[in-house]
Structure 1
Amino acid sequence: MRYEMEPGTRDALIAAGRGSGDNIAAIRESFGLHLDESGESTEFVHVKPERGGLNFGLREGPADVFNSRILRMTRELL
Structure 2
Amino acid sequence: MPPPRLISSTAAELLTFFGKCPQCRYSATATETVLRYDNDTVDTRIYLSCGQPCGWTTQVAPDHTGSYGFTAAGQPAP
The TM-score normalised by the length of structure 1 is 0.24
Please identify which structure carries the higher helix content.
Answer: 1
Q: Which has the larger radius of gyration?
A: 2
Please identify which structure carries the higher strand content.
Answer: 2
